[in-house]
Amino acid sequence: MVGVAGFPALLQFILMLLLPESPRWLYRKGREEAAKVILRKIYPAHEVEQEIQDLKESVEAEIKEEGSSEKMNIIKLLKTKAVRRGLTAGVGLQAFQQFVGINTVMYYSPTIVQLAGFASNRTALLLSLVTAGLNAFGSIVSIYFIDRTGRKKLLIISLTGVVVSLGVLSGVFHETTTHSPMVSRVETSHFSNITCPDYSSALNSGAWDCMTCLKASSPDCGFCSSPTNKVNHLTFQTLHKVACFAFINQFSLFQLLPGACLISNDTVKDMCHKETRLWYTRGCPSKYGWLALIGLALYIIFFSPGMGSVPWIMNSEIYPLRFRGLCGGIAATANWISNLIVAQSFLSLKEAIGTSWTF
């Protein structure tokens, strides 16, 4: 899988060899004719002369401004109030872009899908592709809204949606954790030689549920669900008694059946699958998995047009010309440092305080 990423990288490398230099850079280096040749390739013939004139005036203004000012450094930058305030806004936007967890969702989306109750690695991977597609779609949508709606309004709408979506995810994972199926001694004894040691030695094994099983660590244990062809023993008489409330309580009529808590390895996983059971090691069976997918999709849809695009656009607009390169670099560094903090702490936080509180 990792090697596949080498193909687009190789393609980009080849195309970069064919990419011409920036006309602005060429003009600043005194290569005016080379800059004009590239502009003629980019713009229609009737626009070329105007673009050349605009480029000339812009570069001359930059050179004049740079020549009339002292050499820039971070200390001088921080002493300039207007730039300092702009940098605070720019760095804050970039940091909060990461602290709302976008790259954690992108990096760990298969894991998040499994935590929501989807056992299959293949299913989790396929569903995680939806997040990547929605992220790309949202970025394209931002092209339309960024100037029509305005930066601030788009950010507020985006953040509101992100907060609501994270709230949905937090609630779903809370329900998944607190309503996971119980571990059955009968089901577990069916696999007597591979029972989870912690479960066998536990004094309160009758209170064990799927989440307790997955937290066992000596060795790691997994949850083998009841066979998929079993049906919960809610009789037709029981269904008849609650017929008036069937629509309201449709999710409570079909309870998650107990399963077995077993040692986690590939051999046990295969044994579980051979009996038409599902094998869980990251999350537990849940009736609310589809709600987690909706929350995840809404999160991406709200994030991409606002928090995904606006911080980068704002950082290209809010600094004076002579400070733009330095300030943009500082803001980008803040972005990736924040990304490192969030990405590295996600799994540790999940283990320490639980998936619900992490979101």
**pLDDT tens digit sequence for 311-345:** 999 998 888 877 888 889 999 999 999 999 998 88
Q: Is 121 within the bounds of a domain?
A: yes
158 lies in the same domain as 294: yes
Lowest mean pLDDT among 101-115, 263-277, 333-347: 101-115
Give the model's pLDDT for residue 248.
35
Residue 159 CB burial class (10 angstroms; 0-12, 13-18, ≥19): middle
Q: Is 244 within the bounds of a domain?
A: no
Query: Is-above-0.85 flag for pTM?
Result: no
212 lies in the same domain as 343: no
Q: Could you report the per-residue pLDDT of 53-92, keeping only the tens digit for each?
A: 888 888 787 777 665 555 566 777 777 788 889 999 999 9
Domain hosting 277: range is: 181-201+208-229+256-285
Please name which of 283, 279, 77, 40 lies closest in space to residue 172, comparing C-alpha atoms. 283
Please name which of 227, 214, 199, 220 lies closest in space to residue 265, comparing C-alpha atoms. 220
161 lies in the same domain as 295: yes
311 lies in the same domain as 162: yes
167 lies in the same domain as 103: yes
173 lies in the same domain as 300: yes
Q: Could you report the per-residue pLDDT of 6-22, keeping only the tens digit for each?
A: 888 888 889 888 888 88
Q: Is 320 within the bounds of a domain?
A: yes
Give the CATH number of the domain where residue 174 resides: 1.20.1250.20
Please name which of 307, 286, 282 lies closest in space to residue 166, comparing C-alpha atoms. 307
Domain count within the chain: 3
